[in-house]
Amino acid sequence: MIHAVLIFNTSGVPRLTKFYSPVQHSVQTLIQKIFSLVYTRPASLCNFLDAPELDQFLSVSDQEERWRVVYRNYATLYFVFVVDGAESELGILDLIQVLVESLDRAFENVCELDLVFHFDEVHHILAEIIQGGLVLETNVDEIDDSVQLAAKLRRESYASANPLSLSGGLASRGSNLQTPLGWLTGKLTGVGAR
């Protein structure tokens, strides 16, 4: 099971935090501990490590079970997954690649500012990939299609609920395309009242 997905910048500032298991102590302390494990690790070592230091933060059901931190560094961002022994480390590295490719498709060359200003869309993309700590989808095309469809439906919902939007619900109800100023003028003067 995947217990946490974290994205840090190189200064240790978390840009995305998603926990799928309850945290026993302070979340901030746990995040700092994970970052210190990953950041101080030499680049010549592999991208996953056992982390018995995290046992005190996350509830461990079995004493034999150990948490593993699987991470990947892309430019100025660290993508970190905290998993248990049931997950394949190479599979999680592949999943990190799927997440990065999905973010790249959504934001066209994703950067740290995209994660900051579009955090809701980043969480949506993550939810398309992982739900409740289990992997749902790994096909980047399917993930991108779902994200594009949700964005389209969100725009349509906004347009139909907002009478001042240029492509608002007035035109979609069969009347002629009307500008926001024309709509407002009509409402104020009573023209076109029903």
Write out pLDDT tens, residues 22-75. Answer: 887 788 888 898 898 888 888 888 888 887 677 666 665 555 567 889 999 988
**C-alpha pair distances (Å), 51 with each of 64, 113, 140, 141:** 13, 30, 30, 34
Tell me if residue 10 falls in helix, strand or coil: coil
Task: Quickly list H helices, the chain.
Answer: 27-39, 89-107, 112-117, 119-129, 140-161, 169-172, 180-189
Q: Which of 135, 128, 136 is nearest to 103 (CA)?
A: 128
User: What pTM was estimated for this model as a whole?
Assistant: 0.77
Average the pLDDT over 115-133 and give the result: 93
- In the block, tokens 């989808």 appear at 137
Mean pLDDT (the chain) is: 83
35 Cβ neighbours under 8 A, 6+ residues apart: 8, 12, 14, 78
For 159-188, the pLDDT digits (tens) are 777 766 655 444 444 445 566 777 777 778
DSSP string for residues in 31-86: HHHHHHHHHTS-TTS-SEEE-GGGTTTB--S-TT---EEEEEEETTEEEEEEE-TT
- Please name each of the domains of the chain with its CATH number: 2-160 (3.30.450.60)
* Confidence at residue 172, expressed as pLDDT on a 0 to 100 scale: 45
